[in-house]
A and B are shown apart, each in its own frame.
Chain A
Amino acid sequence: MENRNKQKTLAPLPQLSGFIFRRFEGPGDYQGMVDIIMSNVDDPNSHVTSLEDITTDYAHISESVPVRDMVFTFHAEQPVAYCRSTCMWEESSNSWIYGWLLHVHHDWKRKGIEEALVGWLEDQALLNHQILHPEAAGMHSVFFSESDQHRLDIVQNRGYSPTRYFEDMKRDLIEIPDYPFPEGIEVRPAFPSQYRQVWEADVEAFQDHWGATIPPEENYQEWQANKNYFQPYLWQIAWSGDDIAGMVWNFINSTENEKRERLRGYTESISVRRPWRGKGIAKALICRSMKMMKALGMTEVALGVDSQNISGATKLYYGLGYRSYNRSVVLRKPLN
C-alpha cells in the first residue's frame, strides 16, 4: 500500500543513454552539488557556493521536498548535473508558481542532460500540483541570465515566453553623492529582538512588487542562517520612531569576492514602506550604504532590480550612478 502511494507521488526518472539518474539521497550529495556549481565559476553570471553554504541552505529548505523534488545525473559514478523543482504561492497572479534550479557541470553541457532534466522537472511539478493543489491555478516559471542562450532556446522550444526582465546593476565608489534624510528619520541598526520586525517590513514593502510571494516561516530561519547574506551590522535602516520607514540589507560575500577577484558590496533588498515613499529616504539610505562600503574597503556596489518596477526603482538607481551589466529574464508557461 505504502509503495503504491509512493509511486504516485514521484515522476518517472529521465532516460538518457550513458547517464544514470537518481533522486536526492541526503547530505552526502552536497559536495557533488558544490563541485557542479563551482565548475562553472568562470562564467561571470554563475554564482559562488561552498559546502558550508549548501549545508546551511538545505537545513532550512521550504519550497521543495528534496527527496521528491531533486534529481541527480551521474556519469561513470560522478555527479555531473542536478536539478530541483520549487513551489511558491504568488499573490498577484493568484497561482502556484513552479520554478526550478538546474546545474550542469561545465564539461557536460549541451549533451542532452538539460533537456532530460527540464522534462522531468515539469513532470514532477505537474504531479505535485495535481496532488497538493488540484483546485488552484499553477504556472511553470524560470529565471536566468539572458547570456545563457542554450537554456533560453530549450525553454522557448518548450513553450515558455519571456514575462519580465531584471537588471543587474553596479557602480564604482569613487565619487559618492550626498543626500540628507528627511526630518524625523533616524538611521540605526536593528537589535536582535527587532529582526522579526525588519523581516516583516521587507515582506510588506515587497508585496507591491511583481512576483511577490508570501514567504513561509522557514524562510525567516533560512534568512538568518546564511552568514554570506545575513550581516545585520551592515544594514542601513531608516526609523520613524519605532517604525521602520525603509532599509537596505547590505552584505559582503567575501568568498565570492575572493573567487571573482573583486571587492564588491551588495546594496540589496532596498525598500521604503508606503507611508514614507517620495521623501528621498531610499536615495539617502543608498548613499549612506555606498559610503559605508567604501569605508569597508569595497570598490564597487551592486544590486538586482525588476526593470519594470512601478515605483521607478531602476530610474532611481540609474540617477545614483548604477549601470546595468547583465539582464535576466523570467519565462513562464501554463502548467498543463
Chain B
Amino acid sequence: MNTIEVYPLKNAPKIEGLAFRHFEGESDYPKMLAIFTNLHDAKQYSGETTLQSLKAEFTNLSNCDPHDDLIFAEINGQTIAFGRFYWEQEVSTQKHVYYVMFRVDPAWQGQGIEEALIDWAESRGRHYASVLPQGEAGFFLAFSRQTDQTRLQVLTDSGYKIKRYYHSMSRDLVDLPESPMPEEITVRPALPKDFRKVWEASNEAFKDEYGASEPTEEWYQSYLTGPFFQPSLWQVAWDGDEVVGSVQNFISLAENELEGRYRGYTEAISVRREWRGRGIARGLICRSLAMFKLLNMDEVALTADTENPTGAMRLYIGLGYRHYLTSLELQKPL
C-alpha cells in the first residue's frame, strides 16, 4: 500500500535486495529499536533505547531535516541500518560541525553499507556547507567505541582521524566520600520554574568544554520529554537565586534490567566559571552518591572527556570513579 520513497545512492554496495529510503515516521521506531537490540547483544551499544526515548529524540530533531537528513537501509524489506546527519555550531570557533551518525545491524556490518552511509552524510554536509549563512566551514565528526574494530576501520579508511578520547567511568557505592559545600552555597531541589534555569546554567558552564555547541530549543524539548529527565534526582547548588552548579542525575531502570545491574548516572556535572575551585562539584557528586545509595543502586557512572581543561578527570578519579570503556571522536576536514 505504502510506496517506499527510495533514496538513490551512487555508492551503494551490490547486495541483493538492498535499497535506501526516507524516514517513515513512528513506524520506524520499532525497526530502529530492533537494530539497537542487536547492537547491544553484540556489545557495540549500551544505554536505554525504548520507543519512548526514540520518540522524544526524533520528534525534536535539532538542525536535522527528518525528510532529507535521515536515511534507512532495507534488505528485502527488512530495515538493517540507518543514518542521520545533523549539524551544530561550535561555541569556541563558530565553526560548523557536521555529524556523521550511522548504525548498522551486526549481521550486515563490513559489507560496504557503512561506506555508503558515510558518503551520504558527507554529501548532506557539503550541501549544508553551501547553504548555511554564517559560521566558518567546519569538519565532519563521527564517534566509535575503541573496541568496535569494523566501524573504526571503515572510518579510518574513509579519511577520519582520531581526535579525542572519552572515558566512561563507574564507581561502587560501598564506601562513600563526604565533602562539605562552601558556606555561601545552598543545595535545594529545582522546582518546575527552575528547570530551564538549571539547563541554561549547565549550558553556560559547558561552553568552556571542548567541542561545546550552541544549545537549541529542540535539545531542551527532547531532554524534557525523554526518559532521563528526572529533576527530583538532580542535585543543584544555589547562590541565592542563582544556579551555580548541578548534577543532573538519572536512573534508567530499562537499561538496568537489560544489563542486570543497579546503576545511577551522575551526568551533566557542571559548575559555572565564577564559582569554580570551591569544591562545589565535589560536594554535589558526594551528595549524589549518598542519594543513589538510598535509592538502592549499587554503582554510579558517567562519561568524561579525558582532556577536559577544568581537571574533571582528576576529580572523578579522586572520588573513586574508574575507567571501563573508551569512546573515540574522529574528524575529517570538509
Contact = CB atoms under 8 A, between A and B. Distances in A.
Contacts of B190: 254
A254 B191 contact: yes
B66 interface: no
Contacts of B296: 187-189, 236
Nearest to A261: B191
Interface in A253-300: 254-255, 257-258, 263, 288, 291-292, 295-298
B212 interface: no
A246 to B, nearest CB: 14
A234 B232 contact: yes
B133 interface: no
Interface string B45-77: 000000000000000000000000000000000
A296 B247 CA distance: 12
A233 interface: yes
A291 B295 CA distance: 10
A258 B253 contact: no
A231 interface: yes
Contacts of B230: 231, 233
Nearest to B50: A192
A191 interface: yes
Nearest to B250: A233
A198 B193 CA distance: 33
B227 to A, nearest CB: 10
A314 B227 CA distance: 36
B188 interface: yes
Nearest to A263: B189
A263 B188 CA distance: 9
B295 A191 contact: no
Q: Does more than half of chain B's interface fall in helix, strand or loop, or is it mixed? A: helix
Contact of A232 (B193, B231, B253, B294): B253
B306 interface: no
A231 to B, nearest CB: 7
Nearest to A295: B291
Contacts of B290: 295
Interface in B253-282: 253-254, 256-257, 262
B192 interface: yes
B233 A296 contact: yes
Interface residues of A, number: 25
A247 to B, nearest CB: 12
B253 A297 contact: no
Contacts of B232: 231, 234, 252, 254, 296
A231 B231 CA distance: 11
A191 to B, nearest CB: 4
Contacts of A288: 294
Nearest to A189: B296
A254 B189 contact: yes
Contact of B262 (A188, A263, A292): A188
Contacts of B188: 263, 297
B231 A254 contact: yes
B287 interface: yes
A311 B235 CA distance: 38
Interface residue tally on B, bucketed by range: 20 to 34
B191 A191 contact: no
Contacts of A254: 189-192, 231-232
A234 B295 contact: yes
Interface in B93-132: none
Contact of A295 (B192, B231, B254, B294): B294
B209 to A, nearest CB: 27
Residue of B189, B232, B291 with most partner-chain A CB within 10 A: B232
B295 A257 contact: no
Contacts of A292: 291, 294-295
Contacts of B187: 297
A165 B192 CA distance: 34
B251 interface: yes
A249 to B, nearest CB: 14
A5 interface: no
Contact of A257 (B191, B254, B262, B294): B191
A225 B233 CA distance: 19
A149 interface: no
Contacts of A193: 257
A253 B160 CA distance: 48
B233 A192 contact: no
Interface in A102-149: none
A68 B190 CA distance: 41
Given A192-B253, A297-B187, A258 B192 contact: yes
A257 B231 CA distance: 13
Given A232-B253, A252-B232, A295-B287, A189 B295 contact: yes
Interface in B286-333: 287, 290-291, 294-296
Nearest to B293: A295
Contacts of A298: 189
Interface in B217-258: 230-233, 235, 251, 253-254, 256-257
B257 to A, nearest CB: 4
Interface in B4-53: none
Interface in A192-239: 192-193, 231-234, 236
A64 to B, nearest CB: 27
A18 B67 CA distance: 54
A254 B191 CA distance: 6
Closest 7 CB pairs of A and B: A191-B257, A297-B189, A258-B191, A295-B291, A292-B294, A233-B251, A252-B232
6 contacts: A189-B295, A191-B256, A231-B230, A254-B191, A292-B291, A296-B291
Given A254-B191, A292-B295, 4 more contacts: A187-B296, A254-B189, A263-B188, A288-B294
Interface of B: 187-193, 230-233, 235, 251, 253-254, 256-257, 262, 287, 290-291, 294-296
